[in-house]
Amino acid sequence: MTADWPSQIFEKFKEQNVRQVSYVPDAGHTKLINAIIADPDIHAVSLTSEEEGIALATGAWLGGDKSVLLMQSSGVGNCVNMLSLIKSCKIPFLTLVTMRGEWGEFNPWQVPMGSTTQASFEMMGVHVMRIDQPEDVQDVLAAAMRMVFEGGTPVAVLLSQRLIGAKVFEGAK
């Protein structure tokens, strides 16, 4: 382990030549979003709602760009109908989702969507992988990117609330 996990994710994006990264901000994605905004070779696309990111990923791939969507688990429900693009058009789609509503969540309103995040993706045909420990970030992301960009399988990687850590939320309060 040489770097923190957001930096490891960013390195993987660069290795794979990801050109568009869209996001609805989340405290857990702060460091990664800042790295993307600072990179002149990546379009950092701030969204007003997560479903725009599904449409953006479709357009990006039509035009030859690899892309990734960053969001929080509470945004997954916003994407359900738009995910028909991914299924109907077989778009190599990768999203990294920071989880809320599970490990030590203080806000009960996060729990309904957090507890149905995986099921929401699966019912729309998106394969779900999960990371609970920082030492697994590189391997899981490499596996996910291979499935997506070599195999064409849409994948959602859930970054567990335990991985992100309670500290982020203390700072973000």
Partner 1 sequence: MAEQELDRLDVVAQLLKDRGDSLVVTGLGSSTYDVSAQGDNHRNFYLWGAMGGAAAIGLGLALAQPDTPVIVITGDGEMLMGTGSMATIAKQAPGNLKVIVLDNGHYGETGMQEAHTNSVTDLTTMAKGAGIEQSSTIVDQAGVDRLVDSIKRLENAPTFAVIKVSAKSYLRADTVAKTIKDGAYNRARVRVALGVGIE
Q: Which residues here bind partner 1, judged by CB under 8 A?
A: 19-20, 43, 45-49, 51-65, 67, 81-82, 84-85, 88-92, 152
Q: How far is the CA of 22 from the CAs of 2, 3, 71, in angstroms? A: 26, 23, 9
Q: Which of 167, 165, 147, 166 is nearest to 157 (CA)?
A: 147
Query: Toward partner 1, which CB reaches closer, 72 or 161?
Result: 72
Q: How far is the CB of 8 from partner 1 (least distance, A)?
A: 25
Show the tokens assigned to 35.
């790295």
Q: How far is the CB of 82 from partner 1 (least distance, A)?
A: 6
Q: How far is the CB of 106 from partner 1 (least distance, A)?
A: 28
Q: How far is the CB of 105 from partner 1 (least distance, A)?
A: 27
Q: Which of 126, 52, 137 is nearest to 95 (CA)?
A: 126
Query: Toward partner 1, which CB reaches closer, 19 or 162?
Result: 19
Query: Toward partner 1, which CB reaches closer, 43 or 162?
Result: 43
**DSSP letter, residue 78:** G
8 Cβ partners below 8 Å, 6+ apart?
Answer: 137, 138, 141
